[in-house]
Amino acid sequence: MNTGPFSRVFLARFFLFGAAIIWGSSFFMVKGVVDHLPPATLLAVRFSIGTLILALIFQKKLKGLRRRDLVQGGIMGMWLAAGSLVQGIGILDTTPGKNAFLTGIYCVIVPFLFWASGGKRPPLRSFLAAFLCLLGIGLVSLTETLRIGKGDLLTLISGFLFAVHIVSVARRGEGMDPIALCILQFASTALFCWIYALIVEGNPFAFDWRPVWKPVLYLALGPTTLAFLFQMMGLRLSTPSAASLILSLESVFGVLFSALFYGERMTFRLVLGFSVIFAAVLISEYRPREREVAS
């Protein structure tokens, strides 16, 4: 894409902010849908539609896939499915805002997982981010009796699983086309979710889809498909650090949409906890030596 420096900055921010806003809008909508449909069935439909659309748009990318690519994509999709399922089950017993922010801890966990898997020791700011993240989690999740709710706990586990997924992509996806890799992950995630849904949740046609077909379609087209395309375009025009900082706003938009459209009550303690977690994410993701926009 031949654009001047100003245009590149504008387009990068447009696509990245668009992805963050779309993803942020998904939390309160998912919370409303899972009152009618179980989480795995919803995820299976979302990722199936996303796979179909991306495969049709980028079908040339799927030519020449090797058996290794299918295996690696399946493993990465397994982690993505696990994180998405646990997150979806967790939102049943927590609020959309908490679900958004507690999931976002994966940004803080990733450097330590890379270290544990043979990578470099994280910089000092990662340890500071981890401390702030734990403090924020305590403010958001712990009750007066120092217990954590089931939904919050599951959401935290999903954040860890998403961190494992990111490390898996970085370790296993080397040399693979990123778009083809995403399609393979979407397809395998849909498959795992369908298997879980059929075994645990039962016949998907037994549920009443009429009240939720519009939000389900939006979740499939928007957060699952369009946001991925926006993210991909934004990453091509921006550096990873600048992109990650903007994309981390997903949790902020998640709380905003939850407060506006779901009626989530924002107490001082919740706002303080969200702020501390967001500060931890920013510290973890900040790379001061990188230029804002890719050349």
Alpha helices in the chain (DSSP H): 5-33, 39-57, 67-90, 96-103, 106-116, 124-141, 150-172, 178-196, 213-221, 227-237, 240-247, 250-257, 268-285
**Does 273 reside within a domain?**
yes
Q: In this structure, are residues 206 and 41 in contact, taking their beta carbons and an 8 Å threshold?
A: no
Lowest-confidence range among 226-230, 255-259, 290-294?
290-294
Residue whose token pair is 């549920």: 207
Write the CA distances from 54 to 72, 128, 138, 184, 205, integer angstroms.
19, 39, 39, 10, 25
Q: Which tens digits make up the pLDDT trace of 276-287?
A: 999 999 888 776
- Amino acid identity of residue 186, one-letter, is F
CA atoms 130, 108, 151, 259: torsion sign: positive
Alpha carbon distance 246, 209 (integer Å): 34
- 142 forms beta bridges with 148
**Does 92 reside within a domain?**
yes
Q: In this structure, are residues 137 and 156 in contact, taking their beta carbons and an 8 Å threshold?
A: yes
**Does 292 reside within a domain?**
no
* pLDDT > 90: percent of the chain: 63
Mean pLDDT over 104-133 rounds to 90
* pTM above threshold 0.75: yes
Mean pLDDT over 120-136 rounds to 91
**Does 126 reside within a domain?**
yes
Mean pLDDT over 127-138 rounds to 93
Q: Considering only CA atoms, which of 29, 37, 30 is closest in space to residue 208?
A: 37
Q: In this structure, are residues 188 and 78 in contact, taking their beta carbons and an 8 Å threshold?
A: yes
**∠ at Cα 216 (154, 69), nearest 5°?**
70
**Does 120 reside within a domain?**
yes
**Does 132 reside within a domain?**
yes
Q: How many domains does the chain have?
A: 1
Query: What's the pLDDT at 241?
Result: 65
**Does 294 reside within a domain?**
no
**Does 295 reside within a domain?**
no
pLDDT band, very low/low/confident/very high, at 175 (cuts 50, 70, 90): confident
Q: Considering only CA atoms, which of 238, 221, 180, 226 is closest in space to residue 1?
A: 238
The boundaries of the domain holding residue 210 are 5-285
Task: Say yes or no to pLDDT of 128 above 60.
Answer: yes
Mean pLDDT (the chain) is 89
Query: What's the pLDDT at 244?
Result: 77
Query: What's the pLDDT at 3?
Result: 55
Task: Say yes or no to pLDDT of 291 above 80.
Answer: no
